[in-house]
Amino acid sequence: MKEGIYLIDKPAGWTSFDVVAWFRNRMSDVGDRKKPRIKVGHSGTLDPFATGLLIIMVGKKFTKRQSEFMKLDKDYEATLKLGFSSSTGDPEGEIIKNSKFEI
């Protein structure tokens, strides 16, 4: 893997940090203590349950550009399940309200 900018389709269940850690481990030679750890960053956090594009920057030259990507417009798509509320306001929480309604 080379330094650069990578567009990752983050799967559900992974945190943004999980993706960064995976890249960092791929880029670093753990056995060579003289080799500095490579810089890896991302352009915005996605919730663990969310899927979508995560921009990963690898290497100092590219991580310096993080703010450029943070300022870009973003689009979001969502699937809703009407009539339910969770303790956390997202799919990871416990269902605390189930409203039956007719359309």
Provide the annotated active-site residues.
47
Kindly state the helix (H) or strand (E) to which residue 24 belongs, with its residue range.
helix 16-27
Residue type, 10: K
Strand partners, 52: 10
Helices H / strands E in the chain, number of each: 3, 5
Would you give the distance in Å from CA 88 to the centre of its chain? 19
d(CA 24, CA 83): 42
